[in-house]
Amino acid sequence: MSASGKVAVQATRRDYYGLQHVCGDTLDEHGRGEWPRDAFTFRLRDEKAIRLIEDEAETPAPASEPKKAAGSSAKE
């Protein structure tokens, strides 16, 4: 979260790019913006109209299996 209490958001569908927060903040031409971290923003997230970009950055990617070294036997 930024020091201003805002969160990065992105519209989930192109037809939501015109959404506007009740405080007046809008989304850019790519459907992204910074909105206050408040009940209105979280309600739209819960309704799947927007997603919080920071949530995805904080979620670790699943670990992939380590690759076996070349020449190693498949049976151990």
Q: Is 47 part of a structural domain of the chain?
A: yes
Whole-number average pLDDT of the chain = 82
Asked whether residue 76 is domain-assigned, the answer is no
- Residue 23 placed within a domain: yes
Does residue 28 belong to any structural domain of this protein? yes
**Per DSSP, what are the bridge partners of residue 26?**
20
pLDDT, residue 56, reads 61
46 within some domain: yes
pLDDT at 2: 47
Q: Which strands, in side-by-side order, build the sheet including 50-52? A: 32-36, 6-11, 50-52
- The residue assigned the tokens 């790519």 is 30
- pTM for this predicted structure: 0.66
Query: Of the given ranges (39-43, 54-58, 64-68), which has the lowest mean pLDDT?
Result: 64-68
Question: Would 32 be classed as within a structural domain?
Answer: yes
- Domain assignment of residue 34, given as a range: 6-58
Number of domains in the chain: 1
Which residues lie closer than 8 Å to 52 by C-beta, 6 or more apart? 7, 8, 9, 41, 45
